[in-house]
Structure 1
Amino acid sequence: MAEEVKRDIPEIVGFACSFCSFKASEMAGSLRMKYPEGITIIQVPCSSRVDPAFVIKALFEGADGVFVAGCHPGDCHFIKGNYYTRRKIAALKEMFKAFSMDKKIKLFWVSASEARRFVEKVEHMYKEIKEGSGNEGKKG
């Protein structure tokens, strides 16, 4: 059994809607923009499809942070999906305040053409986590 190597790189899980945010992440790659390693992006049909349980599971299984990225309000391909997302994530962050983990959850809006904005948001979250405290919810 290989010994687990402790890394100094924050692990961040991101859920990105397929119509806007995920396209922005792909465009960033096509334009050879770089963002820190340790970021795992999961494509979802709409940001509203991200169940709060997915965020909780990611944090308690070792992610240092989780972001949900969706279309700008009013631009959702599923009409009101991002409004539902905003309410769900706000409630989840409020719940996580009790554990001082609310800052480990981010929500942001990015259109398909905003590759630079996507990279900036991810880099900002990465820096906040790297400079902040460890994830109290981490196992082991």
Structure 2
Amino acid sequence: MEYPADVRLLRVPCSGRVNPQYVLKAYQDGCDGVLVCGCHPGDCHYSTGNYFAKRRMLIYKRLLEYLGLEPDRFIIRWISGSEAGKFRDTVIEVADRIRELGPLSNDLPNLLAEEIPHPIAAKFEWLATPMSGREDL
């Protein structure tokens, strides 16, 4: 399958395993946008991984927007493993949209590297915790 040359893939067994720290690291390393894909809700091989990912990533998206990231730079999509064409089309669509936005502001990666203020950090601390032992989600 062919993707635009500026696209980098990070494969994980389940979208529930996408740690927000991976997303943060991508922006800190110079990525202009991130696309997180997972199985359709209700279709997770790991039972509830995609529900966990959906909740965690939507909250993380709001945090990134609060910090100044444009909403179109962090995209979440549900695509089955058998939908290779849809995956390719989505990757190309998102890459084109991010290219249209232009490069990420130089100060945002620095802002993301700084310490997040305590009240916000406490509220979102659970984002980096592993999935096991989080029955309250």
Q: TM-score, normalised by structure 2?
A: 0.72
Correspondence for 1:97? 65
Structure 2 residue corresponding to 1:88, chosen from 52, 56, 62: 56
Contact 1:101 1:135 (8 Å CA) reproduced: no
Query: How many angstroms does 1:138 deviate by?
Result: 4.5
Structure 1 residue corresponding to 2:26, chosen from 42, 50, 58: 58
CA distance in 1 between counterparts of 2:7 and 2:109 reads: 17
Contact 1:110 1:117 (8 Å CA) reproduced: yes
Correspondence for 1:67? 35
Q: Which has the higher helix share?
A: 2
Runs of 4+ in structure 1 off by over 6 angstroms are: none
CA distance in 1 between counterparts of 2:82 and 2:19 reads: 26
Which runs of 5 or more residues in structure 2 are unaligned? 111-137
Question: Letter of the aligned partner of 1:101 in structure 2?
Answer: E
Q: Is 2:103 aligned against 1:125?
A: no
Correspondence for 1:12? none
Query: How many angstroms does 1:82 deviate by?
Result: 0.3
How many residues are treated as equivalent by the alignment?
107
CA distance in 2 between counterparts of 1:103 and 1:59 reads: 14
Q: Is 2:95 aligned against 1:111?
A: no
Which runs of 5 or more residues in structure 1 are unaligned? 1-28
Correspondence for 2:15? 47
Identity of paired residues, percent?
36
Structure 2 residue corresponding to 1:79, chosen from 19, 40, 47: 47
Give the RMSD, CA atoms, in angstroms: 1.4
CA distance in 1 between counterparts of 2:71 and 2:26 reads: 14
CA distance in 1 between counterparts of 2:69 and 2:33 reads: 13
Moved more, 100-109 or 47-56: 100-109
Contact 1:67 1:106 (8 Å CA) reproduced: yes
